[in-house]
Chains A and B, each alone.
Chain A
Amino acid sequence: MKCKKCGAPAVINMRQHRLALCGEHFLEWVPEQMQRAIEHYHMFTPEEKVLVAVSGGKDSLSLWDILLRQGYATEGIYINLGIPDGDYSNLSQQKVEQFAAQHNAAFRVVNVKAEYGQSIPEVARRKRGRSVCGTCGLIKRHVMNQIACEGGFAALATGHNLDDEVSFLFQNTLHWATGYLARQAPVLPASRAGLSRKVKPLVRLYEREMAAYALVRGIDYIYEECPHAKGATTLVNKELFDRLELSSPGAKQQFYLGFLQARNEGRLLSPEASAVELHACEQCGQPTTAPGLCAFCRLWTEGNPRSDREHGGTPNGAQ
């Protein structure tokens, strides 16, 4: 197969775009697609400072790589979750540190155990009935939002790709979670004090395209899956959609982009679907639907060994 632009041997064939490209042109094409998404969805301008959530995985490191090459003002944030199996957290932190050193890129690390007293698996064990993955998501979102707001960043960027969005959309549709369907978007505006703007610059890119970008660019990322990801719903959904995409190239992007269009044209949900009452958490001030304390603060103030030792005082870093 030949590159559509120059006729050199292609390294990737993207049937969803009817496009095959060589390494050189593919490395140009991916950033162009990301830039188009940034502009089309008004994610951020070149003058704005962006906080980039990096995990050491292919998507977030590729996102950071492209943003740096395009000259955006970025700072990375890595959250060490304290997952010991396969030394997962330490290895993924190393990948981030390596990447940052190679690119002379600024970043900060938040170590959950050091900041709050327990690692993600330890919290999940203490809070019987909470899944590790649910706990992880809650903690990461709180920490990233807090740092984006306090650090004066215009936006928080995550490496969610099209396959991720398709998986969430499918899951939200299976459960008819109209609240989530109303809010799933490439950009979540900073709609009130305490909420940062959240953007997904890779939202139009297939996971396969991002994996190929990381490979061709030579980005060293953590290849192993999170030890807690086995049998995760997202992975099951992705397999289903891979099958669909194989027989119907472009199915993933049609599903997601078609949804955005139908929703934004008012053809899908009632206005009430997105209505939600928020108020500031009594302890940390971040917006929450819960009365009193937000779910994050409740994690640390109920039965936490550190807060018990401090007689119910605020855990280090919780505010």
Chain B
Amino acid sequence: MKLIYRDKEWELKGNTTVRDALKKVGLSPEAVLAVRDGKLLTDDVLLRPEDTVKLIAVVSGGR
């Protein structure tokens, strides 16, 4: 399962929750939003091995 955040990419074993995946890559659930197939995910969602998840930074430069 692939996680993408800005210019970084991680390959993780599937069947993990969003919450645990964020922990594994060292990102705070307060600081990112997880998107799969264009849909926002809450952090209890179980990710599958074939998923690609985009992590959107909550803080972005504009006001």
What residues of chain A have their CB less than 8 Å away from a CB belonging to chain B?
A: 1, 10-13, 20, 23, 53, 55-60, 92, 158-160, 163-164, 207-208, 211-212, 215-216, 221-226, 229, 235, 238-239, 242-243, 245-246
Contacts and interface: CB of A to CB of B under 8 A. Distances in A.
14 contacts: A1-B44, A10-B42, A13-B44, A57-B60, A211-B33, A215-B40, A216-B40, A221-B62, A222-B60, A223-B56, A226-B61, A242-B31, A243-B30, A246-B28
Given A208-B33, A211-B33, A215-B40, A58 B28 contact: no
Given A11-B40, A13-B42, A212-B33, A159 B59 contact: no
A243 B28 contact: yes
For the complex of A and B, list the 6 residue pairs with the smallest distance between their C-beta atoms, beginning with the closest.
A57-B62, A225-B61, A242-B30, A11-B40, A226-B61, A55-B62
B29 to A, nearest CB: 7
B56 A211 contact: yes
Contacts of B28: 242-243, 246
A149 B30 CA distance: 38
A41 to B, nearest CB: 19
Interface in B5-39: 28-31, 33, 35, 39
Given A59-B62, A242-B28, A215 B43 contact: no
A1 B42 contact: yes
B59 A207 contact: yes
A207 B30 CA distance: 9
Nearest to A60: B63
Query: Is chain B's binding surface mostly helix, strand, loop or mixed?
Result: loop
B33 A215 contact: yes
A246 B30 CA distance: 7
Given A215-B33, A216-B40, A221-B60, 14 more contacts: A11-B42, A13-B42, A53-B63, A55-B63, A57-B61, A58-B62, A59-B63, A92-B62, A159-B63, A215-B40, A215-B56, A242-B28, A242-B30, A243-B28
Contacts of B39: 11
A10 B34 CA distance: 13
B61 A222 contact: yes
Contacts of B63: 53, 55, 57, 59-60, 158-160, 164
A96 to B, nearest CB: 10
Interface of B: 28-31, 33, 35, 39-45, 56-63
B62 A245 contact: no
A212 B31 contact: no
A59 B60 CA distance: 9
A238 to B, nearest CB: 6
Contacts of A59: 62-63
A198 to B, nearest CB: 13
A17 to B, nearest CB: 14
A225 B57 CA distance: 10
Contacts of A211: 33, 56-58, 60
Contacts of A55: 62-63
A20 B44 CA distance: 12
B19 to A, nearest CB: 10
Given A12-B42, A13-B43, A212-B40, A222 B62 contact: yes
Nearest to B29: A246
A57 B31 CA distance: 16
A308 to B, nearest CB: 33
A241 to B, nearest CB: 9
